[in-house]
Amino acid sequence: MHRASSRVKIASTAVALGAIISSTTISVLIAQFFTIVAFQLASRLPVKRILCWAMYPVFFASIFAVSQAEYSLQLSAQTILRAVNVALLMLLLISTTPFTKIISLIGKGSRTLSNLAFFSYRFFFLFIDESIRRLTALRVRGAFHGSIRSKVKNIANLIGLLFVSYIESGEEVYEAIRTRGYRGEFSTEASLVGGITRYDIAPFLMAFITVVISIVEWLWV
């Protein structure tokens, strides 16, 4: 996956993403999950760490899934599995593709979206580091001991602090790049030209297997 063309990987990821979103059966979503994990293992990626990273978007999807539980537990499970698969798929793409090439491709369609992608990518890791530091500090001070009311209050304070810290960090970075000549766009002219090679078989195969799994679901319904 690492040596495959960026265009092929992004196109294959888009196809696999469509297959995941259109899947409505738990067994199919589980099969797609193992397919993505298998390609991560084949790419020699730290799967355990990637699974931990995938839990961040899954947390927010779980909030929506809880509201669906009133109507159907199966629907809630599908929502969570879909979020897991999408997160793992995007992390596979990001982990095997230089991010400048991804931004470059996005920038060819919209400079605004490429800038948003750049800042989101940067702040994602900054936000995680800041969250871990503040969470560790609160644990050391015993903020999560005591009554449930006290724990909920401390968690709410933590979220508020992270939100304010996130805004302040964003303003500082924006002012810093403004002083360096930023005027609303980045130069992301990374070279993307090149023919298809044997290394492109891997992303093609991943997309193919993901789509076939979905097609099998439709045939059996």
Q: Is the dihedral of CA 37, 43, 47, 51 positive or negative?
A: negative
The pLDDT, as a whole number, for residue 153 is 79
The pLDDT, as a whole number, for residue 133 is 82
The pLDDT, as a whole number, for residue 121 is 67
66 Cβ contact list (under 8 Å, min separation 6): 76
CA distance 95 to 8: 15
How many CA atoms lie within 13 Å of 23's alpha carbon, on the beta-carbon side? 32
Q: Give kind and range of the element (H or E) at residue 14.
A: helix 6-22
pLDDT at residue 169 tops 80: no
| Contact present, 196 and 11 (Cβ < 8 Å) | no
pLDDT at residue 122 tops 60: yes
The pLDDT, as a whole number, for residue 193 is 47
What tens digit of pLDDT does each residue of 50-88 get?
888 788 777 777 777 777 666 777 888 888 889 899 999
State which amino acid sits at residue 41: L
Q: Which of 6-15, 30-39, 44-53, 127-136 has the lowest mean pLDDT?
A: 127-136
Query: Averaged over 119-146, what is the pLDDT?
Result: 75
Q: Which of 94-103, 104-113, 185-194 has the highest mean pLDDT?
A: 94-103
What tens digit of pLDDT does each residue of 175-209 get?
777 787 766 655 544 444 455 678 888 888 999 99
Question: Over the chain, what is the mean pLDDT?
Answer: 79
The pLDDT, as a whole number, for residue 183 is 64
State which amino acid sits at residue 3: R
How many CA atoms lie within 13 Å of 118's alpha carbon, on the beta-carbon side? 21
pLDDT band for position 39 (cuts 50, 70, 90): very high
Q: How much of the chain, in percent, has pLDDT values that exceed 70?
A: 81
State which amino acid sits at residue 176: A
Closest C-alpha among 215, 200, 211 to residue 97 = 200
Residue of higher predicted confidence among 26 and 168: 26
